[in-house]
Structures are given as C-alpha cells and as structure tokens.
Amino acid sequence: MKKVIVIGAGTAGLASAIRLQKNGYDVTILEKNEKVGGRMYQIESNGFKFDVGPTIVMMKDIYEELFRYSGVDPKDYIQMSRVEPMLSLTFADGYQMDASSDLVHMTKTHEAISEKDTQGYLAYLADIYKRYLIAKNDFIDRSFRKPSDFYNPKTLYQALKLKTFSNAYDSIGKFVDDERMRQALAFQTLYIGVSPYSGPSIYTIIPMIELLYGVYYIKGGMYSMAKAMERRFLELGGKILFNQNVSEIVIKDKIAEDVISNHEMITADLILSNADFPYAMDNLIKENKYKKKYTYKRVDKMEYSSSSFLIYLGMNKKYPKALHNIYFTSNFKENVNNLFEDQMPLDPSFYVYSPSQIDESVAPEGKELLYILVPVPNKHHSKHTWTKEFTEKYENHVLNIMAKKKDLKIYLNILKLKLITHQMILKKNSI
C-alpha cells in the first residue's frame, strides 16, 4: 500500500485525502493547526459559532459528489438547504434589490428598472451559459498533464470561444445599462479577490452559477463541511496528525519523498501539498534547482488578490435581514480601484452574513450573529501595517459607516455583546 503524506487539512487537502484513501492509498494528513478546515474553520465564543472564512455555498453537487465518490450518501454527512433570496443588495441611495434564483422574481425586479435591461440580462445569461459549458467541458473537468494537452488546435480554439479579452464589468456593460444592475453582476469577482474592472469577463460566470444552480446553506455553518470531510476520511481509515508544522518537502533525485515536520523526518511514497502555492515555493521547497522558475523574486512579483478585513459580532437582539447582504458604496469603481492601488477604502462596500437568521444552532436563543467582510488591499503586499491600533481604528471606521445605514443603524447602536474576535484573513492567491 503506497504511503501518502498530505500537508494541510484544508478543504482541498481533506478532499484529496478522501479520494486517495478511497483508492487504496495509506494517507496521513499533517496539519499545523489543532483542527481541520484551514480557512474554513470556526471560532466558538459565548455560545456563538463564527465561520471565519467561506460562507456562500455554490454548486452544491460538488460538495455532495465527494461523499458519493467515497461510497456514502451525502445526506448522512451534510444537511443543505436552498437560500432564497440568495443575496440582498443595498445601494448607496438606499435602493434595495434581492438577487433570487427564481426567474419570475428576477424578471419583476429587473422590469422595475427597465424592460430593455431585463432583455439584456436574459441575453447575458444565454451568452455566459454557452461559455460556461465550454469552460466546464473543455477546461475545468479535464486534466492537463502535459503542455500538448493544452497547446493543441482544438483546445486553443475552445479557449478563444471563452472570450476572456474584455474585463468583467465591460462585458456586463454590453448587455445592461443600469449601473446598479451592472454592479450586481460584476461585484462577484471580488469573491476571489479580483477587480471586475480588470479581471477577465469569464468571471461573470459567478452570478450565472448562483442563479442557475442556486445558493445553499449547510446546517451548522460551513465548518460542518470540514468536520464531515474529516469524519469520512477517518472512517475510511485515514490518519490526521495535528500541531504538525511541516518545514520542508525533501526532494531526492527529482522525487518528493519525505517531509520534515516538527524537526522530524517523515517518509512517504507521495507528497501532496495543500499549503498556498507561493508560501510552499518560498518555504517548503528549499533547493533553488527545484523551485525552477518560482524563485523568491518571481513569487514576490506574482499578482495577488485583495485581502479581507473581518469583524465578527455577537448581537443581543435579532436582526431581520437576509442571510447574505451586500452594501455598495456610492463610488464602487473608486472603492475597487483603491484595493488594487494599496489605498485603504475609506468608504467601502461590505458584506454582512447572518447565519443565525436561519440556523438556531449557531447563536444563543434571541441573539444574532453578524460576520462583516470588507475587501481591503492585499495584506502582505501593502504599505499599511496591521498593528493592533491600525486594526482597531479601521474597525471603528467600518462600524461607524455601518451605523449610518438605515437598516443597520438601530442594531449597531444597541450593540452590547460585541466580541473581540475581529481579525484579518489573508487571501494570498495568485491570479
């Protein structure tokens, strides 16, 4: 039985480990934290359960397929429910618009803006769905093992059909005129820390996926998915070792065979790293000859996503809002440009997530959990240093802005049970 070491028990590490274990490998995960999940972990405090990273479940089939692949019924591991409306959008002038996966509802919402833009919205859907099928069948569901798998006439022709040349915002602008509708279809690139004003138009696939496949909630919050994956992996006979800080992937004769964790050598036949790619190249691959083109300099110069500033609040009152809420600032473009020009947004757009609206297991009775996410410039490539003082100042700034919003005001003014669990989460993805 071949022995595999997986570095990291994030979602990708756990999903890979389950598949490998199911295929007869003897898998051990080495995780530096004391629990699974990586960015999908949870903080428990005063009866509140805060998901600290991901919150929006799209493409539920992908979550379920992992359990089916491993031979069990996903329903025995995660309970998913459809979220409706998917998102509540509030614009700077107070105009509110719900994004729904019900086409009847969406048509009415858009017709209230204009019939021309409603037609444009439907044309956008038809166009992006066509591109989605190409992306899925020719790229996402395919393995590219050698250069010729990609660089061949058929694949290159399909890549051209993806029309990735214009940016996301401009491509939406070809279909709809209303600025609110444009923002409502473009802001989703920020989910992956990319500007809609420079990120490729293919990212407008995200609102299409939300509409056509729905948005879901996993009972207990996102962390339930990480725990369910951990459970399935252990049932299959896998092992997880916590508090293991891997410091090196040891490569001998071009083959990664061992790792050094907590100063000890651990051997395996195969190593799979779930750590962020730039971090792994800088820290885990020591010899330059194995870094190849990914030298320190090159890794440093890669393009990084924006980061997220997060505030987690436990409220002593209920808050009658949707599960997912987006508040747009009056100058969205300037706000987004700030993120990629290393300017702290002074009038930011932000996202409020409130799972206790629909799940009594994440907050004490009669109380509400709020997760507030503000996109900010990339933390590691910034002139700003997130000292305690700087963080608190920005937190107060954000809460003051929120308190001026008509529908948030009264709740923030009566805020008594505020928890001191704000923190920065770095999203350091190469794009």
Positions touching ligand FAD (CB under 6 A) are 7-13, 30-33, 38-40, 53-56, 244-246, 274-275, 308, 373, 425, 427
What lies within 8 Å, CB to CB, of 421 at 6+ separation is: 43, 45, 50, 312
Q: Which residue is nearest to ligand FAD (CB)?
A: 10
Cα separation, 135 vs 141, whole angstroms: 8
Nearer to ligand FAD, 5 or 176 (CB): 5
CB of 120 to ligand FAD, least distance (A): 27
CB 173 within 8 A of CB 313: no
Nearer to ligand FAD, 10 or 348 (CB): 10
Nearer to ligand FAD, 128 or 190 (CB): 190
Cα separation, 36 vs 230, whole angstroms: 7
CB of 16 to ligand FAD, least distance (A): 9
Can you read off the two tokens belonging to residue 369? 């959990």
Residue 275 phi, psi (nearest 5) = -70, 155
Crossing angle of helices 11-22 and 223-235, rounded to 10°: 20
CB of 33 to ligand FAD, least distance (A): 5
CB of 122 to ligand FAD, least distance (A): 26
Can you read off the two tokens belonging to residue 40? 């999908």
Nearer to ligand FAD, 172 or 259 (CB): 259
391-400 CB contacts, 8 Å cutoff, 24+ apart = 391/422, 391/424, 394/309, 394/344, 395/309, 395/311, 395/422, 397/346, 398/309, 398/311, 398/348, 398/350, 398/372, 398/374, 399/311
Nearer to ligand FAD, 38 or 120 (CB): 38
Element (H, E) at 408: helix 406-413
CB of 263 to ligand FAD, least distance (A): 13
Nearer to ligand FAD, 58 or 159 (CB): 58
CB of 166 to ligand FAD, least distance (A): 25
